[in-house]
Structure 1
Amino acid sequence: MAQRDLTGSRAVVTGAAGTFGRAIGDALRARGVRVVGLDLTASADAAAPVLACDVTDDDSVATACAEAVDRLGGLDLLVNNAGVGGPAPATEPPGEVVRRQLEVNLLGTWRVTAACTPALVESRGRVVMVASRMAVMALPLAAAYGVSKRGLVAYADALRLELAPAVSVTTVYPSMVRSPIHDSTAAAGLSLEGASQFEPLEGVVATVVRACAARRAHRDLATCRRVGAEMFLARHLPAVADRVVLRRVGERIRAGAFDDAPLAAGMVSRHRTAGRRGRED
């Protein structure tokens, strides 16, 4: 699809100090975009300014977004990238880990977008949502992340309809990229090594830039062919997708990958009990 010249465009990128955010900001600047980042901690770097913004706090979001728009003199692009992860089994009561993922990944995106909407409408701009393959193809023991990202997609779909035709909304679906977002999951003994394939950061960044630059806005964009195939499978043949995930998880359980993970104990026990019963039958 043809791309437009982004030179002189004005963009806000959330989660700007993280692995994705820094790379997205740098890639947009390389295309001539003026970028102001938002993150928990401010940075005075003149080439890559980041304003302090807690996306879980209404007042912080309102103040930071207003300052960003004022600095830029308007807003053409909003890249909602901020996100957190962490293990959260669906069988456990929702605690702080769950609440934080919903607050940052879903409600934080909602707050920032609402604060930026007037400026985006004025410029007839574009919103890019960084969702996840897990929004459509869930993985066990990561319920909060999947729920938050599926909710983000639902929010993007509603936003697209409300802002049309003035503002376009594109949702980008990365798979797994090596970054600190997976550290807490690995620390809990729930590493996804072997259960899901990692993809290079460069592909995710290129897809986000493509979403920003497309002359005619995409609705949804997968970051690579494999993710696109998995999304198609999950949307059109969900029972088959479930079996694929369960087979991979079963292989990991049989290999003992989760034996030292308390959060996985129930799932491991159920799989092994079912396996013993199957052999007895």
Structure 2
Amino acid sequence: MSRALLITGGSSGLGAAVVDAARRSGDRPYVIDRRPPQDGVPWLECDLADTRAAEAATRKAVAELGGLDGVVTAAGMDVPGRLGDVAAEVWERVVTVDLLATAAVIRAALPALTEAHGNVVTIASTLGVKAVSDATAYCAAKFGVVGFTRALAAELAGQVGVTLVVPGGMRTRFFDDRDEQYKPGPDAILNDPANVAAAVMFAVGQPRGCAVRELVVCAERETSYP
């Protein structure tokens, strides 16, 4: 039986890889993003920095899907730089999109997920367990996702499956708009997002009563983990 899966950030990067994996599995992905996903995938346009709009979009998606079996919060952004050099509104947008919108979407999806005994997969980062310079917003947000997800797993135990996925650097367009000093070098070792998407689908597919709590998925020579 195909599963109804809500994927934030599903138009690019890891989110798009999860959409691909879901379609190959015969599932029904539904995307919330600012840009359209691949052809044929239903979606709602939403700026996740507006958390009330994110909640409304989630409720609308659940209604259109007729229920919900899983949520994958793959939307994320980063604007690296020293704390004093990153504009306050930019710094706060990173935290809002990466952390607060994650909570907002899951909050709105909880009634449907509880009814279906569905699964939640949140996406943190290796920089959610290891702090580095010039990444205060991203580390604050992703450390927050780690803590939020662990608390949520305790809160929803027996009702909804909750998995924290911690990816290392991936070959996506995530780094494209950065200043050159913050882009991976030509010899950077990055993982294929399809590998992380496969781990996400493994977590989403766990049967009732089995919990995959946390997964770290990175290139073998990832420098930011452990």
Fold conserved (TM > 0.5)? yes
Counterpart among 78, 85, 96 of residue 85 in structure 1: 78
1:65 to partner: Cα distance? 1.1
1:201 is the counterpart of 2:193: yes
> What aligned pairs does 1:140-151 form with structure 2 within 5 A after superposition?
140-151=133-144
The TM-score with structure 1 as length reference comes to 0.73
Task: State the alpha-carbon separation in 1 of the partners of residues 151 and 92 from structure 2.
Answer: 22
> What aligned pairs does 1:95-106 form with structure 2 within 5 A after superposition?
95-106=88-99
Contact 1:176-1:196 within 8 A present in 2 as well: no
1:44-79 deviation per Cα after TM superposition (whole angstroms, max 9, x unaligned): 94x311111222224422321122111111111000
1:217 to partner: Cα distance? 2.4
1:189 counterpart SS class: helix
194 and 228 in structure 1: CA distance in 2 versus 1, 3 angstrom threshold: closer
Q: Which runs of 5+ in 2 are unaligned?
A: none
The match for 1:161 is 154
Task: State the alpha-carbon separation in 1 of the partners of residues 78 and 224 from structure 2.
Answer: 21
Contact 2:189-2:219 within 8 A present in 1 as well: no
The match for 2:3 is 9
The match for 2:17 is 23
1:71 is the counterpart of 2:60: no
Task: State the alpha-carbon separation in 2 of the partners of residues 229 and 169 from structure 1.
Answer: 27
1:80 to partner: Cα distance? 0.5
Contact 1:132-1:174 within 8 A present in 2 as well: yes
1:137 counterpart SS class: coil
Specify the structure having the higher radius of gyration (Cα). 1
Contact 1:10-1:76 within 8 A present in 2 as well: yes
1:15 to partner: Cα distance? 0.4
Q: Which runs of 5+ in 1 are unaligned?
A: 1-6, 234-281
Contact 1:37-1:48 within 8 A present in 2 as well: yes
1:168-205 deviation per Cα after TM superposition (whole angstroms, max 9, x unaligned): 110111111122221233x2522232796311222111
Task: State the alpha-carbon separation in 1 of the partners of residues 50 and 133 from structure 2.
Answer: 30
In structure 2, what residue type is equivalent to 1:214? Q
Counterpart among 214, 231, 247 of residue 206 in structure 2: 214
In structure 2, what residue type is equivalent to 1:221? L
Q: What's the C-alpha RMSD, in Å, of the aligned pairs? A: 2.4
Contact 1:124-1:166 within 8 A present in 2 as well: yes
Residue identity over aligned pairs, in percent, reads 33
